[in-house]
């Protein structure tokens, strides 16, 4: 778990050394909201927001800071600790929205 105040710096350090095709899963303390960060090319990242909003972003490394600030305000307004999971190589299942059980 990482404190919200040091989250952006910590995550940017991890993203520099991440290989292409791998991704991180960032979650709130309760694990109910979050987003994925996928390194699709050498200097291109895909962010999938899965929480209050369902959006996708494509950005280079320099644009990530502004997107992270926006996501922290929107997805984690009252969280003080965040979880970062190294998920390994990305598969197609994370791009799909989870199917809900119909009653």
Measure the CA–CA gap between 8 and 82, rounded to whole angstroms: 11
Cβ within 8 Å of residue 59, ≥6 positions away: 44, 45, 47, 67
The residue ranges of every structural domain in the chain are 2-88
Indicate yes or no: pTM above 0.85: no
User: Which ranges in 3-103 belong to alpha helices (H)?
Assistant: 7-16, 64-75
Residue 91's pLDDT is: 77
Measure the CA–CA gap between 21 and 40, rounded to whole angstroms: 5
CATH number of 2-88: 3.90.70.20
For the segment 63-87, what is each residue's pLDDT rounded down to a tens digit? 999 999 999 999 999 989 999 999 8
Helix (H) or strand (E) holding 2: strand 2-3
For the segment 26-74, what is each residue's pLDDT rounded down to a tens digit? 999 888 889 999 999 999 999 999 888 889 999 999 999 999 999 999 9
**Please, which pLDDT band fits residue 100 given cuts at 50, 70 and 90?**
very low
């Amino acid at each position: 778990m990482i404190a919200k105040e040091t989250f952006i710096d910590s995550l940017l350090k991890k993203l520099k050394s991440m290989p292409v095709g791998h991704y991180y899963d960032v979650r709130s303390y309760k694990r109910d909201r979050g987003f994925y960060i996928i390194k699709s090319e050498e200097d291109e990242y895909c962010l999938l927001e899965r929480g209050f909003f369902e959006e996708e972003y494509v950005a280079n490394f320099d644009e990530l800071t502004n997107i992270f600030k926006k996501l922290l305000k929107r997805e984690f307004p009252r969280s003080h600790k965040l979880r970062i999971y190294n998920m390994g190589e990305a598969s197609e299942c994370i791009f799909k929205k989870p199917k809900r059980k119909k009653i």
